[in-house]
């Protein structure tokens, strides 16, 4: 597989100065970007430029400035394609597990949290209206509940984790209301593993568990396993695919991205996991340090080792098309996906 990539990259290099026309891919600091960071580290000549953005509004700015593609949750991609970037098309689904409602012990569903204080977080901003919030609202609806049943506060993940760790009243944060401590926080891996690991340590404070597995909550879909959901995707603008150079670049980037997924998934020992984790941690600091993102390598290695942060590229869009369409509509509230939203294999040939 590496030979195939090297050959393709060499072909591109012979035909043009790929560094002068790199493919620009926007991504917020979430797990979808991890394989790309690893691919860029392993292949310094990969013809891609990562455009690190803070949140949903940052994605809009990136596209205004000419971004070609997006790494994001599938439902966030659908929302962008239904509005800001109508020619944005989903190429593949890669990140299949990772969202949990982290709770105090002995809580196993949202009904057990009714009337309690809950935190919803974005990676570096409040997260309100972003992909985690979209999934959270859909999860409440799945549970026969709504945000009116809770005292919900939106905080950046570092502030949110700190609040639930300290066990302080919700209103100890100016943005929050309520005199009781937070009883839950929605987190994606590897943040969930990091909080679980820290709370299990001596003097780590009250134990925090993966109280609600959101993957299992969305039952009824048969085209993937019960503990998975089609969270993350790689999308490209069709206008960029109309450019032969960028089309070839995208093929090279996708190949390297999938190769990196295989490397993560087959990191069987601690040495291999720590190598990958150190690269991801270092590259996250390089690209997202401006947003005060802190991702320790040990947290990444732990999430890979315990199987909670899982990547996959063994599902084609055509094989899961029906359930994928329904799931995206359920979470994004997009009533009709734009024509051509799903790329076909022929589109990349």
Please check whether residues 91 and 103 belong to one and the same domain. no
Cα–Cα nearest to 104, from 190, 181, 189, 203: 181
Residue 223 lies in a domain: no
The reply to whether 17 falls in a domain is yes
> How confident is the model at residue 348, as a pLDDT?
84
Same domain for 117 and 77: no
Q: Does any domain span residue 82?
A: yes
CA gap 147, 261 in Å, rounded: 36
- 265: CATH: 3.40.190.10
Does one domain contain both 110 and 135?
Answer: yes
- Global pTM reads 0.91
Please report, rounded to a whole number, the percentage of residues in the chain having pLDDT higher than 90. Answer: 76
Gap between the Cα atoms of 3 and 218, Å rounded? 40
80 and 103, same domain (yes or no): no
pLDDT digits (tens, 9 = 90+) for 40-52: 999 999 999 999 9
Check if the beta carbon of residue 256 is closer than 8 Å to that of residue 284.
Answer: no
CB 36 within 8 A of CB 48: yes
pLDDT, tens only, 308-331: 988 889 888 999 999 999 999 999
238 and 92 within one domain: yes
Q: Does residue 122 contact residue 132 with C-beta atoms inside 8 Å?
A: yes
Q: How many domains does the chain have?
A: 2
Quote the domain boundaries for residue 323: 2-97+231-348
């Amino acid at each position: 597989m590496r030979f195939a990539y090297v050959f393709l990259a060499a072909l591109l290099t012979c035909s043009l100065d790929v560094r002068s026309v790199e493919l620009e891919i926007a991504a917020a600091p979430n797990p979808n970007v991890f394989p790309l960071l690893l691919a860029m580290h392993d292949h310094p000549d990969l013809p891609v430029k990562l455009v690190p953005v803070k949140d949903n509004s940052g994605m809009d700015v990136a596209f205004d400035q000419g971004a070609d593609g997006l790494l994001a949750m599938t439902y966030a991609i659908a929302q962008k394609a239904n509005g800001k970037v109508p020619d944005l098309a989903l190429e593949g689904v890669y990140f299949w597990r990772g969202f949990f409602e982290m709770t105090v012990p002995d809580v196993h569903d949202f009904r057990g949290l009714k009337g309690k204080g809950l935190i919803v977080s974005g990676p570096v901003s409040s997260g309100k209206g972003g992909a985690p919030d979209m999934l959270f609202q859909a999860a409440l609806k799945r549970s026969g509940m709504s945000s009116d049943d809770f005292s919900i506060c939106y905080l950046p993940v570092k502030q949110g984790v700190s609040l639930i760790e300290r066990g302080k009243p919700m209103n100890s944060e100016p943005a929050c209301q309520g005199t009781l401590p937070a009883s839950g926080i929605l987190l994606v891996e590897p943040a969930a593993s990091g909080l679980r690991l820290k709370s299990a340590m001596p003097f780590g404070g009250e134990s925090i568990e993966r109280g609600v597995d959101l993957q299992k909550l969305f039952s009824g879909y048969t085209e993937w396993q019960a503990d998975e959901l089609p969270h993350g995707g790689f999308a490209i603008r069709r206008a960029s695919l109309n450019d032969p150079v960028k089309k070839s670049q995208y093929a090279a980037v996708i190949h390297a991205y999938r190769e990196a997924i295989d490397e993560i998934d087959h990191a069987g020992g601690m040495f291999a996991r720590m190598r990958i984790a150190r690269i991801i941690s270092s590259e996250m600091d390089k690209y997202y340090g401006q947003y005060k993102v802190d991702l320790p390598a040990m947290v990444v290695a732990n999430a890979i080792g315990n199987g909670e942060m899982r990547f996959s590229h063994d599902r084609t869009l055509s094989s899961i098309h029906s359930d994928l369409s329904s799931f995206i509509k359920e979470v994004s509230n997009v009533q009709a996906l734009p024509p051509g939203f799903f790329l076909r294999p022929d589109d990349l040939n």
